[in-house]
Structure 1
Amino acid sequence: MLGTAPSAGRIALAAAFALGLMTSAASAQDKTPDDPRLFAPGQLTVATSDPVFPPWMMDNDPANGEGFESALVYAIAEKMGFAPENVVWVRETFDQAIAPGAKNYDFGIQQISVTEDRSAIATFSDVYYQPQKAVVAMPGSVVGDATSFADLREVRWGVMIGTTDLDYVAQIIGVTDAAVYNDQVGLFQALQGNQIDAVATELPTALYLTAVQVPEAEIAAILTPDENDYGHGLIFEQGNDLVEWVNEAIAELQADGTIDGLVAQFLIADPDLPVITE
């Protein structure tokens, strides 16, 4: 016997029921390693630079859990429910990290400062660290006698392209002719070769630079904070709502003292360094 065709109302009701089941299943997976919003469900895919530098990461190996940012990523992953072996690293340049467009990972980490301009083309997590900036120079440099921004405008500066260090030297100190380098190696070689007098960089990087990479160099001063640099954040593809889940993990790590512990372990500074404020 032929049956009657289902009514439009019954079809709509069945479709709504099926959609509800699918939504419920997806919701049950949210904020788990099987979250469908992940770039590759089952793993946390994280981007960083190549190479990576201490004290942020050690031995050019982000997967070893050593260094401030490597250890932080694994602490975040644990809060999110990922085993260490399910954290997968990819590499990209700094310019690629801060460029707009699709990203082949969940979030990136490589001392990326949160700024208004960058926030217009990418999504950032809450700030996980607010570094000070430092001036690095060779012993006997004229930089050692500087006590003001006016003095600092008289020296030859070198900065790395695409960084807030470049913005700081140009916009805050007021230097319009700083030499720009594509990577840290070229920047530090220029300092050693007396092609430039001073380098602006974040204090933790300056500490490692003067201890290991260019041990004959010294930190000449600490600089006043840049109000346009809100601190380091994890970078996501614009509109990626995984950021809420990651922010929950960062908040937990701040509350339980984990981040403070990592700062103390990897990013300790000399409190007696001179400070130039303007």
Structure 2
Amino acid sequence: MFGFITKLAVATTMAISTLALPAAAQDGGKDMARILSQKVVRVGAVEAFPSYRQDLASSKWEGIFPETVEALFGAIGVKVEYVPTEWGTAAAGLQSGRFDLIGGYSATPERALAVGFTIPVARVGVGLAAATAEKQAAAANWADLNKPEVRISLADGSATMRMVQRLIPKATYVAVKTEDAAILELESGRVDYFASTESSLSRYGQARKNVHVGYPKPEIGQNSTFALRKGEHDFQEWLNVSLGALIADGTIPGIRAKFLNPSK
């Protein structure tokens, strides 16, 4: 009798667990098969140049990650469709099936509970832009900024936001939807600093020669990856192999250099 009850309990637990999982997770994932069958992949895209930018005239997306996914999926004859999203809602977009993957999504322990990740395509530093040399000199160390009178703008829901807030929790934060809006906060004088990744800061510094970009000590950074739905093991394996090949043959480093150092 005890053995029967034990088996029944185990079976019931497994059934409940299965019901609690999304359909894709129950069968090990079907995204790769669907993508190959339909010849279309849906990619989440965030207005955050040089990672992503949509041309208003043509509606075409450009940047590091659009060019990377075009190289990835063009090799197997799959068309890329872009789905606009924001960093703060990207995980929900993946889970709900609005899109299949998103690039430039930093891998963190918290995010790994909700989505799957590929191998890193790059490690990007996190720093600050200031409107004056004096402000930048005052930001030699993160600890120097850990006070309420220091105001910092950043993109809401970004990995940068979580990282910087954890490091200097006493600073005052102005979280806005996009990096362009965060930059406007700095240029209008409403904040002292704009916090972002090296990718965004380097392009911003090139575009605005009067802006001062720096990386306080200790240096911090993020692993830039692609995120996808949990349980999509075939898709994840293919992405890892393909990304590794594009890193090794210089394609991805070349794309990054094109957008991060356009004058070279």
Counterpart in the other structure of 2:88: 95
Distance 1:240 1:225 in 2: 34
Q: Against the structure 1 CA distance between its residues 72 and 262, is the aligned structure 2 distance closer, same or farther, given a 3 Å change threshold?
A: same
Select between 154-163 and 216-225 the one with higher mean Cα deviation. 216-225
Whether 2:131 is the aligned partner of 1:175: answer: no
Deviation at 1:64, TM superposition (A): 5.1
Q: Residues 12-31 of structure 1 correspond to what in structure 2 (within 5 A)?
A: none
Deviation at 1:181, TM superposition (A): 2.0
Render the CA deviation track for 1:137-168: whole Å, top value 9, x for unaligned.
00244332332223222432222211122122
Counterpart in the other structure of 2:74: 78
Q: Counterpart of 1:210 in 2: which secondary structure?
A: helix
More helix per residue: 1 or 2? 2
Q: Against the structure 1 CA distance between its residues 146 and 258, is the aligned structure 2 distance closer, same or farther, given a 3 Å change threshold?
A: same
Counterpart in the other structure of 1:132: 125
Counterpart in the other structure of 1:217: 211
Deviation at 1:35, TM superposition (A): 5.4
Deviation at 1:37, TM superposition (A): 3.6
Deviation at 1:224, TM superposition (A): 4.0
Whether 2:107 is the aligned partner of 1:114: answer: yes
Q: Against the structure 1 CA distance between its residues 53 and 183, is the aligned structure 2 distance closer, same or farther, given a 3 Å change threshold?
A: closer
Q: Against the structure 1 CA distance between its residues 57 and 157, is the aligned structure 2 distance closer, same or farther, given a 3 Å change threshold?
A: closer
* Preserved CA contact (<8 Å) 2:48 2:178: no
Distance 1:103 1:215 in 2: 42
* Preserved CA contact (<8 Å) 1:236 1:243: yes
* Preserved CA contact (<8 Å) 1:133 1:223: no
Task: Flag structure 1 segments of 5+ consecutive residues without an equivalent.
Answer: 1-33, 270-278
Whether 2:145 is the aligned partner of 1:152: answer: yes
* Amino acid aligned to 1:166: M
Distance 2:194 2:37 in 1: 39
Select between 156-165 and 249-258 the one with higher mean Cα deviation. 156-165
Render the CA deviation track for 1:153-203: whole Å, top value 9, x for unaligned.
243222221112212222123434322223223322221122111111011
The CA RMSD over aligned residues, in Å, is 2.8
Distance 2:81 2:183 in 1: 31
Q: Counterpart of 2:182 in 1: which secondary structure?
A: helix
* Amino acid aligned to 1:96: T
* Amino acid aligned to 2:100: D
Distance 1:219 1:262 in 2: 22
Counterpart in the other structure of 2:8: none
Q: Against the structure 1 CA distance between its residues 89 and 149, is the aligned structure 2 distance closer, same or farther, given a 3 Å change threshold?
A: closer
* Preserved CA contact (<8 Å) 2:88 2:158: no
Q: Against the structure 1 CA distance between its residues 63 and 125, is the aligned structure 2 distance closer, same or farther, given a 3 Å change threshold?
A: farther
Task: Flag structure 2 segments of 5+ consecutive residues without an equivalent.
Answer: 1-30
Q: % of aligned pairs identical?
A: 19
Aligned length in residues: 227
Deviation at 1:105, TM superposition (A): 2.4
Counterpart in the other structure of 1:248: 241
* Preserved CA contact (<8 Å) 1:39 1:106: no
* Amino acid aligned to 1:217: V
Counterpart in the other structure of 2:35: 38
More strand per residue: 1 or 2? 2
Deviation at 1:58, TM superposition (A): 4.6
Deviation at 1:254, TM superposition (A): 1.5
